Structure 1
Amino acid sequence: MRTMRGRFAPSPTGEIHLGNAWTALLAWLQVRAAGGTMVLRVEDLDPDRSRPEYGEQLMVDMKWLGLDWDEGPDVGGCYAPYCQAERRGLYQAALERLAAAGLVYSCYCTRAELVASAPHGSENERVYTGICRRRKLDDARQVIRHPALRLAVPPGETSFSDLHAGFRSQDISREIGDFIVRRSDGIHAYQLAVVVDDAAMNITHVLRGDDLLSSTPRQLLLYRLLGLKAPVFTHVPLLIDQEGHRLSKRQQALSIAALRERGVKAESIIGYLAWKAGLLERCQQVKASELIAGFAIDKLPSGQLIVEYPLPV
């Protein structure tokens, strides 16, 4: 049996908040409870939104919470580099493999064309109807616009069993359509990059928020087409505010740095999150390391969880 390798892969687009700490804690506990290896990967794929200072800050916040890692940007490891901005060559190589198999085509559609032509699919995603797969493009359009690259999705269901969400299945060609694997600005798409990275880093288990549950079939399809071994997935419910919105980096009052500056202890934050996760009977201060022995996926709740504010810690 392979040693479990899990990861926390935040984007450095702002200060990490309570929702990020929630998934980081659960991913960390899953790995530590199995005696596995924890990887920190910084997903700074988008240069317009990513900032190196946020990458530095998230490592400070993680360490303050007591969530350590065995491999990452600061400590290195045998699968370095651990920042996506330094791994673009790997994504391009994977893209070229797909293209060589005839699975990628150029898309010159404008945003207006996409909105006009695409019906809404699952979870309000627009279904791409394959306009550019079918049509012959005039030379003027090819000169004026840089194309995005789309995967020619084969028909059929893509199914998987999630350790928390259960059995899931999706016909990607019908519900999503041909999806982008490289943007028109040359940036490789998240769906491709995360598959390449998790496979290259030998990640065996991925625990993340259930907002990414709908992305999993697309990623599994890419694993199959690239001949890569997929990890075991666990998608956990999100933390939401009292208005029912998922926590975001715009809610600075709930950033880990802001909570620390207000005098909230790391043990209080960990205890609150553990209580929300069903790992503690009451909200109390606790260190992350004290939760390892009692961690189990089947203890985790279903459904979104409302964050009380101020925190009852």
Structure 2
Amino acid sequence: MILGVHMPAGRYAPSPSGDLHVGNLRTALLAWLGARSSGRKFVLRIEDIDAQRSRPQYAAQQLADLGALGLDWDGEVLWQSTRFAAYQAALEKLPHYECYCSRRDIQEAARAPHIQPGRYPGTCRDLSPTQRAARRAELADAGRLPAIRLRATQTHWEITDALAGQHQGPVDDMVLRRGGKEPGWAYNLAVVVDDNYQGVDQVVRGADLLDSAPSQAYLYYLLGLPTPSYIHVPLVLGPTGKRLAKRDGAVTLRQLHAAGMTTAQVLGLLAASLGYDGGGGEAPAVSGVSGVSAVSGISSAQDLLADFSWERLSTEPWVWGIG
């Protein structure tokens, strides 16, 4: 078994590809409240396995923003870029095979009428040793390495989510290690190994990741590890109804500060979105949040802890910019 020091924990695990926006901060706040209110540790992880998108300066700013909101964490921050040996150890425990397909190969094969959309069609699953050697040599001549895929024996897996209830999703021969000219570890494997290592038994994250949970739960099963409890929280949407993004104006803490909002006011808005009341008042005229009622008297996330309840949280997305 791949076990770290198991103290029950919740976590937040951002990717350092940009500043955290209000939606990210809201999810982090919920993860912290969920952990602290249940007597769990709260741990942080920087998911920097994608070297092309990760920037250390963003990680530093993300940690500063979380600290500014009053979110504290236990122990040192874990960086995925230091965990490659652990991912390799997990890979060796899983049934797997090399995949030589390009993205175009997969897209073309997936057009077959018997292939479900989004599913890997199994092109490389049953190649002979001779075929594998030939395909491997072709990739090597092009300076590329094959991907490594799970040899799945299930087509679906079910999880229980505290907000969504029973949720079943498809399982296929998911990528465990990316191939190509710049190979790297896949998110589904890394998140399972690292959550287990950090003792995470409560995963709070955005509802957009709900569909990936069955695949990850299946990996927990194959590795003989306990599956954490899941709480996939509603997203924050922009005024157009799409997921909040930089296009929606001032959405990061630094942008909101520059536009005249204090950290306490941002916390008040987040608290209001979580169902807290007790005061109110209007936010200052800031692009994207003009007229949004905020909870007053909030100076730190610690002020929300004593009265936190999952039952208060709406299961509908929160629309940023609508008063």
TM over 0.5: yes
Q: Number of residue pairs matched?
A: 291
Aligned to 1:212: 209
Aligned to 2:285: none
The percentage of counterpart residues that share the same residue type is 40
- 2:250, 2:259 within 8 Å by CA — same for their partners in 1? no
Q: 1:54 to 1:249 in 2, by over 3 A?
A: farther
Change (3 A) 1:151 1:276: same
Counterpart for residue 306 of structure 2: 293
Once superposed, what is the RMSD of the aligned Cα atoms?
Answer: 2.2
What's the counterpart of residue 187 of structure 1? 184
Of 215, 218, 223 in structure 2, the residue corresponding to residue 221 of structure 1 is 218
Q: Identify the residue that residue 121 of structure 2 maps to in structure 1.
A: 129
In structure 1, stretches of 5+ residues that fail to align are 74-81
Please say if residues 276 and 295 of structure 2, whose CA atoms lie closer than 8 Å, have aligned partners that are also in contact.
Answer: no
Measured after TM superposition, the shift of residue 249 of structure 1 is: 5.5
Asked if the contact 1:149/1:180 (under 8 Å) is kept, the reply is: yes
TM-score by length of 1: 0.87
Which residue of structure 2 aligns with residue 257 of structure 1?
254
Give 1:83's match in structure 2, choosing from 75, 79, 84: 79
- Alpha-carbon distance in structure 2 between the residues aligned to 1:49 and 1:275: 33
- Equivalent in the alignment of 1:248: 245
Equivalent residue for 1:79? Answer: none
- Tell which deviates more after alignment, 143-152 or 258-267: 258-267
Give the TM-score normalised by the residue count of structure 2: 0.84
Q: Which residue of 2 aligns with 1:141?
A: 135
Q: Distance in 1 between matches of 2:117 and 2:316?
A: 21
Deviation at 1:65, TM superposition (A): 1.2
Q: Work out whether residues 180 and 189 of structure 1, in 8 Å CA contact, stay in contact via their aligned partners in 2.
A: yes
Per mean C-alpha deviation after superposition, the further-off stretch among 203-212 and 151-160 is 151-160
Residue aligned with 1:204, SS: strand
Q: Please report how far the alpha carbon of residue 42 of structure 1 lies from its aligned counterpart in structure 2 after TM superposition.
A: 0.7
Q: Alpha-carbon deviations, 1:254-290, whole Å to 9, x = none?
A: 1112112333111211111121122336522313212
Q: Partners in 2 of 1:264 and 1:230 — Cα distance?
A: 40
Report what 1:162 is aligned to: 161
Higher helix share: 1
Larger Rg, first or second structure (1 or 2):
2
Task: Check whether the contact 2:275–2:313 (CA below 8 A) recurs between aligned residues.
Answer: yes
Alpha-carbon separation, structure 1, partners of 2:11 and 2:68: 18
C-alpha distance in 1 between matches for 2:117 and 2:24 = 24
Structure-2 change in CA distance of 1:206 and 1:118 (3 Å): same
CA pair 205-86 structure 1, distance change in 2 beyond 3 A: same
Query: Given the alignment of the two structures, is residue 118 of structure 1 paired with residue 131 of structure 2, yes or no?
Result: no
Structure 2: distance between partners of 1:194 and 1:58: 19
Secondary structure in 2 aligned to 1:24?
Answer: helix
